Amino acid sequence: MSELSGQVREALRARGEPVSRLGYFCAPFRPPAGPLSDRVIKTYRGGRDPELLEQLARRHAAYVDLLTWAGVRLPETRFLILNTAGFLQPVIVQKALDERLLMRPQVETAELSRALDILGQAADSIAAFWARVAQRPERIGYHPSIRNFAIDERGPIFFDTFPPLIGYSREEMGRLLLRFSEKGLVRSVGVLMPERIRAIQDEWYSPAGTLVGLVGSAVRLRPQDGAAILDWARGYAATELSGSLRAEVLAELDRPPRLPAFWTGMRRVLGLEGKPNV
């Protein structure tokens, strides 16, 4: 790990352009040269709270193990904490993916039939994840948004492991959302309206919410095909889901899914909104 830490420090000194500016927690970047040029580096807000960060490291390892056990494909992912005179900074180093495989641009530009096929593959993987972890005792979440997936010939690849959605209560996760937000405005709002920030996580812990969220993102990404995407989603829920999950998803799809107005407005203020996935 010390060798990797040194390589990360060197990459940070020669930091390249971010590969995405849409993140809530960080702006991932890919080093233009050096031993980590085939990796994406994600740095998170540091501090001097070793107990919290050591727990975070353990939970991240547990979450990666859980995702792998549940059949979720991940790029090679390593978590480390850089220690600079007692200032501790969490870092994730992840095998870079071919940008052509990212799900968001594929869904945005593909023919409708291909876009629906991609959505079906993602929906299958989401439903399979929730079925696999249903009997686990921990509080487990999943954030399988369109921008957190890639799609290759074998299917979906998920690459968002932060925060690790395992073992944290809703209250604890709400505090993590504030602790690791890079945006001072978010932290200020969290002090005044903590429930607004805590609510960000609720979709991640809801099987129906994650599936409906996928559909909502696709509708916003391809508004001209919104009706067709909703028709497909209702058909998918009716034929591929069962029990309470089917009922919950169908109930949510009686109209186009929308993001909460508060969160949409916050993303606009912070400059985090995607084009046109807002």
What is the set of domains in the chain, with CATH numbers?
Answer: 2-95 (3.30.200), 99-270 (no CATH)
pLDDT at position 132 over 90: yes
Question: By percentage, how much of the chain surpasses pLDDT 70?
Answer: 86
Instruction: Report pLDDT for 209.
Output: 96
Contact 173, 205 (CB under 8 A): no
Instruction: Report pLDDT for 276.
Output: 35
Instruction: Catalogue the long-range contacts made by 110-118 (C-beta closer than 8 Å, 24 or more residues apart).
Output: 112/222, 112/225, 112/228, 115/218, 115/222, 115/225, 115/229, 116/228, 116/229, 116/232, 118/151
Question: Is 171 exposed, middle or buried (CB count within 10 Å of its CB: 0-12, 13-18, 19+)?
Answer: exposed
Which backbone phi and psi does 18 adopt, to 5 degrees? -60, 145
pLDDT tens digits, residue range 182-200? 776 666 676 667 788 888 8
Contact 262, 196 (CB under 8 A): yes
- Of the pLDDT bands very low, low, confident and very high (cuts 50, 70, 90), residue 45 is very high
Q: Please enumerate in sequence order all residues whose Cβ is within 8 A of that of 86, keeping only pairs 6 or more positions apart, or say none.
A: 48
Does the bond joining 257 to the residue before it have cis omega, within 30 degrees of 0?
no
pLDDT tens digits, residue range 212-262? 999 999 999 999 999 999 999 999 999 999 999 999 999 999 888 876 554
Instruction: Report pLDDT for 275.
Output: 43
- Amino acid present at 36: L
Does the bond joining 31 to the residue before it have cis omega, within 30 degrees of 0?
no
Instruction: Please compute the mean of the pLDDT values over residues 122-128 and round it to a whole number.
Output: 98
Return the minimum-mean-pLDDT range out of 152-156, 162-166, 268-272.
Answer: 268-272
- Measured between alpha carbons, how far is 187 from 179 in angstroms, rounded to an integer? 8
Residue of 84, 28, 85, 88 whose CA lies nearest to 54: 88
Instruction: Share the mean pLDDT of the chain.
Output: 90
- Amino acid present at 15: R
- Of the pLDDT bands very low, low, confident and very high (cuts 50, 70, 90), residue 2 is confident
Instruction: Please compute the mean of the pLDDT values over residues 56-77 and round it to a whole number.
Output: 98
pLDDT tens digits, residue range 13-23? 888 666 665 56
Question: Is 267 exposed, middle or buried (CB count within 10 Å of its CB: 0-12, 13-18, 19+)?
Answer: middle
- Measured between alpha carbons, how far is 104 from 151 in angstroms, rounded to an integer? 9
Contact 173, 88 (CB under 8 A): no
Q: How many CB atoms lie within 10 A of CB 138?
A: 14
Instruction: Report pLDDT for 50.
Output: 96
- Of the pLDDT bands very low, low, confident and very high (cuts 50, 70, 90), residue 181 is confident
pTM for this prediction: 0.90
- Measured between alpha carbons, how far is 45 from 41 in angstroms, rounded to an integer? 13
Instruction: Report pLDDT for 74.
Output: 98
Strands (E), the chain: 39-43, 77-84, 87-95, 149-152, 155-158
Query: In what side-by-side order are the strands of the sheet with 39-43?
Result: 39-43, 87-95, 77-84
- Amino acid present at 58: R
For 1-11, give one letter per residue: b (16+ CB within 10 A) or e: eeeeeebbeeb
Instruction: Report pLDDT for 190.
Output: 62
Collapsing DSSP to helix, strand or coil, 238 comes out as helix
